[in-house]
A = this chain, B = another copy of it.
Amino acid sequence: MHIPFKRSFNRKNNEMRPIEIIPDYYSYGDGSCLVKYGNTHVICAATIDEKVPLFLKHTHTGWITAEYGMLPCASHERIEREASKGKQSGRTLEIQRLIGRSLRSVVDLNIVGERQIKIDCDVIQADGGTRTASITGGYIALCLACKKLLKRSLIPANPIRNHAVAVSCGIVNGEAMCDLDYLEDSNAEVDANFIMADNKIIEIQACGEKHPFDETAFKTLFEYAKNARNLLIEKQDEALASV
C-alpha cells in the first residue's frame, strides 16, 4: 500500500509554499527585501557601485553581480562558517554565479551604464529552495536600486525588461512536486531549478540526483514550474506596488 507523502503547509503536489515578499527591509542601502518561501527566509539587498570590474572599463556598459551566503545556524545542521574556513564552497560559488547570470539576462546593461549593481542574498533560515528564493528576491532588490537610479536621473530609462523568478521542482518518492522544502529536497530523485522570465526561459538546471531520469518526468516538472512562475510574478508586482 502506498502511503502518500504529507507535504508541508498541507500542499498539493503542484502547489508552492506561502510566498511573502517584504520590500525595503533595510531603511538604508540601495534596495532590499526579505523574501519567504515558507520557512526559507532570505534577505536580498542591492548596492550600487560606481566602480565597474576592469573588463568593463570604458565600455559604457553596466554589470550585475551577486553574492550568496548562509548563516551557520540557518540550516537544520550547523554549517561551518565560510569566512572562518577561509573560502567559499563550490556550492556557494555556483549559486551566486547563477543568481548574477539570471538577473543580468533580464536587464539592459547599456542603460545601466558604467556602474555595477551588487546583489547580496543572505539566507537567515533555510528550508529548501534558497537559491530560487534568492533570485525572486534579488529581482526586487534590483528593481528598487534601478528605481533609485532613475529617480536621481542617473539612468535615462528603466533597464529592467522582464521579471525574473525561480522555483525548484522535483521527483520525490516517484511523484512530481513543486517548490521542494528541505525534507523533500533531501529525498528527491530528480531536482530541477527553473528560472523564468514572463513567458520565456532564463535557465533550466535539471539533475537526476541518484539515477538518470526520463523525458516525461522532465516535462511534468516544467509544467509545474510554469504555473509557479505566474504566482511569483504576481507576488513581485504586489511587493513593488506597495513601496
Q: Which residues of A contact B (CB under 8 A)?
A: 26, 28-29, 32, 43, 45, 47, 67, 69, 71-73, 76, 78, 81-84, 86-88, 90-94, 96-97, 101, 105-106, 118, 120, 122, 124-125, 162, 196-215, 218
Contact = CB atoms under 8 A, between A and B. Distances in A.
Nearest to A43: B71
A214 B198 CA distance: 10
Nearest to A97: B90
A47 B28 contact: no
B200 A78 contact: no
Contact of A201 (B72, B93, B198, B218): B218
A120 B72 contact: yes
Nearest to A44: B73
21 contacts: A43-B124, A47-B78, A67-B81, A69-B72, A69-B83, A71-B120, A71-B122, A72-B122, A78-B118, A81-B83, A84-B88, A86-B86, A90-B96, A93-B94, A105-B208, A105-B210, A200-B212, A200-B213, A201-B213, A203-B207, A204-B206
Contacts of A91: 97
Contacts of A203: 205-208
Contacts of A106: 212
A78 B93 CA distance: 20
A90 B101 contact: no
A87 B90 contact: no
A86 B93 CA distance: 13
A28 B71 CA distance: 14
Nearest to A46: B73
B73 A120 contact: yes
A125 B200 contact: no
A207 to B, nearest CB: 4
Contacts of A67: 72, 81, 84
Nearest to A92: B83
Contacts of A92: 83
Nearest to A39: B27
A67 B196 CA distance: 31
B28 A76 contact: yes
